[in-house]
A and B are shown apart, each in its own frame.
Chain A
Amino acid sequence: MARDTITGSRIRERRLAAGLRQADLARDLGISASYLNLIEHNRRRVGDDLLAQISARLGVDSTMLSDGAEAALIASLREAAAAAGRAAGAEIERADEFAGRFPGWAAVLAGAQRRIASLERTVQTLSDRLSHDPNLAASLHEVLSTVTAIRSTAAILAETGEIEAEWRDRFHRNLDADSRRLAESSKALVTYLGENDTSADRGATPQEEVEAFLAVHGHHFEPLEIGRATPQAIVDDPRAALSEAAQQIALRILTQYAADAALMPLDRMRAVIAQVGPDPARLQASLGLPWQAVFRRLAAMPPTDLTRSAGLVICDASGSIVFRKPVEGFTLPRFGESCPLWPLYSALSRPNVPIRRRVLQAGRRAAQFDCFAIAHPLDPAGLDQDPVYLSTMLILPVDRPADDARPVGSTCRLCVRGKCAARREPSVLSEEF
């Protein structure tokens, strides 16, 4: 059984919680107290038989002691240490020991790290909004320009000893006009900010809002399948509670969904799957439809129609992820860039050529997946126009691992693969983790 490096710490924690002395537990187990001490300090690995005895004596399931339930916690601690920088002097290599000995404090620290990351994202979102929202920039410019005019004019009137009557009257009129304008522009700005209840106010990007919305529906929309609702009606539904920006993204996705459902109605999909199986290549050959449409449709099928749920990722030609449907075991980074070794990106170098790759995603729970990808133009390009490409990748879990699976990661920060030519930045996880 694979065993992580803090099993001993968990044994110690459980023993103390049970009020047992180390010597007493050692005697019950038929081992020396010094040997148990080494185990509890993670300096000796504990075998399966001994672990079973210990768990029975402590009255807990052995998986409680051996499984990597704290993996995410430890990863967060390491991220916190990495974010603080080397100068902070955190003993990053002892994060697992810390999590094992002080699980409560570790959870507090990890929670603080997550909150900091969330707040940083919010600041970034607001900053981007200031930078890229032309309406907001124009509104702020208007307010600040008016304030500047008022400040300069008021200072002239207050600080200039002798001032001609004509100038004085003109400045008084200007002050009056500017103060009215400031009142109006401030009100307009507040209204604009209030009406635009964007994702920035919710601490999430519009894309994240849409992902949450799609996840709530299980990426399957029965009303669209049977033509009982339009995409517009679904995104307009107040229960969706989507911001304006998120509504636009969701509308685009659902419009595509409805088109796919019209091309490949559920009954037909079920019949073809019953005939040729859920293999994407056979399905495409049988349906005679574009690969990307088949990929999207498979990912939108109800889980009950497939033996295993399918994941889907779509990126644009810049590599930015524009859609993701997660699948268990395949880590899709929520933020930052994904692994450039994904077939999703390989497909971009060969547009219109479907590719199939067996991949092994490195990590704590390394797992294999069959990935099918194709880069395809979004619209037919006009004469002398460069087509706009998307790349779509279907991710299918596999039953039997293959020897020739290609190793890929999730994102560099969380990838332990060493000597990777595609690495952009160091990992926060150590190799042995």
Chain B
Amino acid sequence: MPGTVLLIEDEPNIIEAIRFLLSREGWQVATHADGADAVETVRSVRPDLLILDVMLPGRSGMDILRDLRGDAEWRGLPVLMLTARGQARDRDMAERAGASRFMTKPFSNQDVLSAVRDLLDAGRPG
């Protein structure tokens, strides 16, 4: 059963495209574009999955993720990280910060949909 996806991304047209794609698949999509109060937004929206851009105004996606992983309530939240940098060290950094999946821009719509399905399926009790 589709759930709620929170997309934290500052690029409006990426937000629009992803929101369209996920909505058509039946997910509720909440969006947010600022890093500074992103953690509060997660706590308020209480998503089933978070799509988080690394480079955000106000605060880095890595820092946001570290904060969330430091909170027992959000330690298990599936997080798909989006970044323009795909070097191995960026991937390592994302993994260390607690990312469930790491995706490099530019990605395909199918990649996003597959990642969201996989992460939500993996998080559901079998």
Contacts and interface: CB of A to CB of B under 8 A. Distances in A.
A192 to B, nearest CB: 16
B84 A152 contact: no
B16 interface: yes
B80 to A, nearest CB: 14
B84 A140 contact: yes
A178 interface: yes
A264 to B, nearest CB: 48
A148 B107 contact: yes
Given A152-B21, A156-B21, A145 B16 contact: no
Contacts of A153: 13, 16-17
Interface string A134-155: 0001001100111111111101
B13 A174 contact: yes
A155 B109 contact: yes
A177 interface: yes
A145 B11 contact: yes
A335 interface: no
Main secondary structure, interface of A, reads helix
B13 A151 contact: no
A42 to B, nearest CB: 46
Given A141-B55, A167-B20, A170-B16, A147 B109 contact: no
A60 to B, nearest CB: 54
A384 interface: no
B1 to A, nearest CB: 23
A170 B11 CA distance: 15
Contacts of A151: 106-108
Nearest to B15: A149
Interface string B77-119: 0000000110000000000000000000111110010000000
A432 interface: no
B17 A149 contact: yes
B33 interface: no
A399 interface: no
Contacts of A167: 20
Closest 7 CB pairs of A and B: A152-B17, A149-B13, A144-B84, A148-B106, A148-B105, A174-B13, A145-B11
19 contacts: A137-B85, A140-B84, A145-B11, A145-B14, A145-B84, A145-B105, A146-B11, A147-B105, A148-B106, A149-B14, A152-B13, A152-B14, A152-B17, A152-B21, A153-B16, A155-B108, A174-B17, A177-B13, A178-B13
